[in-house]
Amino acid sequence: MTRPLLLALLVAIASCREPTETTAVAPVKPLLVEVVHPRRGDMYDVITVPGETLARTVLRLAAPISGRVVWMPSQPGDRVTAGTVVARVRSVENEAGVRGFAALDAAGVLGKEERRVTDRLQDQLNASDVALRATFDSVVAERLHNPGEQVAPGDVLLELFDPRSLYAVCHVPIEGVADLVAGAPVVLKLAGGEIAAHFETLLSVVTPTAVTVPARVVAEDPVRPPLLNAAVVCDVQRSARHNALILPRSALIGSTIGDRASVMVVDEGIARARSVGVGLRTSKDVEIADGLTDTDVVIASGQSALAGGERVEPAPAASVPQ
């Protein structure tokens, strides 16, 4: 085959081939992300400290004479009304007389007339028992003696308290007392419930071992349940910011120690890291001091896994694949 004929054949074969297809590159699909907008509201600086309940009105009923407790039915936790007799104490002399009459009766040496006289005398001795009364509606906090026991003058038999006089003493770290203001709101947490209260005053003493200052906290309504010396938790408000820019703590990247933190914002469809200033903070929210505005869109979930620069698409929480 001659050279010109071979070239013509190759051109004919090439002209019969299909054009080569090019592979199209699919565009990268944006990541669906859950977002949140900063909101305006009030922020409160709250410290949580332990405490216990005390009572302003306490009555310790003590034996006025030497003798024996002959009657005392109340137990700790019982409620008694004002004027109720809660204990009786028999003097040593009367106790000796009653025992003497009982011994004569047991010996069978008393005649009919003598028995009538001794019964009358014994009733008089019993009637002269010293009665101890509650002076106000109260709850029995403690019973320190039992019927049948011998007591000396001044021995406390019962301790009563007025449940309406209960308050709390909370132990505030010494470095935090300067910001406390009289009347500041407090939430008392007691026995699984919460009670609205307010800070009244600091006590003039420092707890040496814990370096805390006791703070008196008064409930707005009667403490329920009415427990004396019960452990409580006090959420004490020290200061407030009104119309603050607030963001959920979950939107922050990493720790919030110090006054700076990082967030991931959506800027024209791109995830970008941004440094923000942090002010007051609670267990759920933080105050944003600078770096964000009300119109910014902040990634609220999964932001720690983003490096920045990814294409993202804001979506409601229910639309974001888990």
Q: Domain of 181: which CATH number? A: 2.40.30.170
Mean pLDDT, residues 20-45 taken together = 78
* Other beta carbons less than 10 A from residue 115's beta carbon: 13
pLDDT band at 102; cut points 50, 70, 90:
low
Residue 169 and residue 51 share a domain: yes
Residue 78 and residue 128 share a domain: yes
pLDDT of residue 125: 64
Residue 235 three-state SS = strand
Residue 197 and residue 278 share a domain: no
Residue 249 and residue 187 share a domain: no
Confirm whether 4 is domain-assigned: no
End-of-domain residue from the set 124, 159, 194: 159
End-of-domain residue from the set 159, 181, 208: 159
d(CA 82, CA 117): 37
Residue 176 and residue 216 share a domain: yes
pLDDT of residue 239: 79
pLDDT of residue 322: 44
pLDDT of residue 256: 67
Q: Residue 110: which CATH number?
A: 2.40.50.100
Residue 276 and residue 149 share a domain: no
Q: Tell me the pTM.
A: 0.64
d(CA 27, CA 24): 9
Residue 232 and residue 169 share a domain: yes
pLDDT band at 206; cut points 50, 70, 90:
confident
Mean pLDDT, residues 282-303 taken together = 89
Residue 250 and residue 308 share a domain: yes
Residue 145 and residue 77 share a domain: yes
| The two structure tokens encoding residue 297 | 């869109």
Residue 121 three-state SS = helix
pLDDT of residue 91: 86
> How many independent structural domains does the chain possess?
3
Position 2 pLDDT exceeds 70: no
| The two structure tokens encoding residue 293 | 């505005």
Residue 224 and residue 105 share a domain: no
Q: Is the dihedral of CA 67, 72, 77, 82 positive or negative?
A: negative
Most confident range, picked from 53-57, 89-93, 255-259: 53-57
The answer to whether the peptide bond before residue 314 is cis (omega within 30 degrees of 0) is: no
Residue 213 and residue 147 share a domain: no
Position 115 pLDDT exceeds 80: no
Confirm whether 198 is domain-assigned: yes
Position 54 pLDDT exceeds 60: yes
Domain extent for 222:
47-55+164-240
Please write the tens of the pLDDT for every residue from 158-202.
999 999 999 999 999 888 888 788 899 999 999 879 999 999 999
pLDDT of residue 23: 54
Position 19 pLDDT exceeds 80: no
Residue 221 and residue 77 share a domain: no
67, 68, 71, 73 alpha-carbon torsion, rounded to 10°: 110
pLDDT band at 281; cut points 50, 70, 90:
confident
End-of-domain residue from the set 240, 260, 282: 240
Confirm whether 18 is domain-assigned: no
- Say how far residue 248 (Cα) sits from the centre of its chain: 22
pLDDT of residue 205: 74
The answer to whether the peptide bond before residue 248 is cis (omega within 30 degrees of 0) is: no
